Amino acid sequence: MAKRYTRQEVLERLRGQVRQGKAILMFGAGIGLTARCAEMGGADLIGVYSTAHYRMMGQPSLLAWLPYSNANEHVARMARETLPAVRETPCIAGIGAHDPALNMERFIDELLDIGFSGITNEPFVGIYGREFAEQLEAAGIGFSREVELIRTAHRKDVFTVGWAFTPEEGRIMAEAGADVIGAIVGVTVGGLTGAKKSQSLEEATRHIQEICRAAREVNPEVLVLTHGGPFKDVETARYSIMNSDAVGYAAGSSGERLPTETAIVEITRQYKEIRLG
């Protein structure tokens, strides 16, 4: 079962990697097997959230933003399947903060009791685009609920990753006390169910840097990870880090779905090359 860490212990692990000149990696896992493999590969954090559930079903992760299931029920179920496969790596739970019936403090405590070491605001309304996100905010179930989640967890001295689509969101998340800002530029491109187009690598990295600046104006110690859009493999992730103030990368589809698709297709082809006689 995954080991539970205090907020300070998680931060010490991450900052230790940065001091050694190593980029931080948060690996999003939808199943226990990939979580275990990510740990064996040296992941610093393992994120468990509803979008990963869908991508490992072979479906678009965008289903997590449609009203067909409950994100928080997914993460509780996924924890029972994923956390037992992890030994030492801190696991981070994605909470859908927008449910009006959700008791944030109680649910955070329940997830910590299961074995999580931190929380993050996923799903996030930023994926909907500005107009719909504004409608959600006006209805009281928008980005401010995600901020409340991060603020509540910070007050409870729980490690937090706050996702931000814009410099303003990065600033607000830093003000709320997020230890890590996940600077996101949209759905990861590529593969069977990924986005078909995105910003250019250069444009996306410039946007990441704007989020970095905004967040670090509030808290110079905040750690920023890059994610999404054209950042789909090691080379593009490296570019995003080397050309911004980010100190690491959050792998979702790029760490779990895309490599799985490639590996299984290739090994299946190799097996089918076996000839009789």
**Which residues, including other chains, have CB under 8 Å from residue 251's CB and lie 6 or more apart?**
25, 26, 27, 28, 227, 237
Compute the half-sphere exposure of residue 211: CA atoms within 13 Å on the CB side of its CA. 29
**Which residues, including other chains, have CB under 8 Å from residue 153's CB and lie 6 or more apart?**
108, 118, 119, 159, 160, 177
| 3-class secondary structure, 183 | strand
- Crossing angle for the helix pair 71-82 and 32-41, nearest 10 degrees? 60
Nearest to 250 by CA among 208, 214, 194: 208
Distance of alpha carbon 116 from alpha carbon 89, whole angstroms:
10
Each residue's pLDDT tens digit, 91-110: 999 999 999 999 999 999 99
Beta bridge partners of 119: 93, 160
The count of other CB atoms within 10 Å of the CB of residue 84 is 14
**Which residues, including other chains, have CB under 8 Å from residue 63's CB and lie 6 or more apart?**
54, 69
Query: What domains sit in the chain, N to C, each tagged with a CATH number?
Result: 7-272 (3.20.20.70)
Element (H, E) at 91: strand 91-94
Q: Indicate whether 64 pLDDT > 90.
A: no
Each residue's pLDDT tens digit, 10-60: 999 999 999 999 999 999 999 999 999 999 999 999 999 988 888 888 887
Q: Indicate whether 193 pLDDT > 70.
A: no
Q: Indicate whether 191 pLDDT > 80.
A: no
Tokens of 275: 């000839």
CB 223 within 8 A of CB 180: yes
Tokens of 91: 């696991």
111 alpha-carbon distance from chain centroid: 16
* Average pLDDT over all residues of the chain: 93
Nearest to 169 by CA among 131, 119, 130: 130
Is the pTM here over 0.95, yes or no? no
- When pLDDT is cut at 50, 70 and 90, the band that residue 158 belongs to is very high
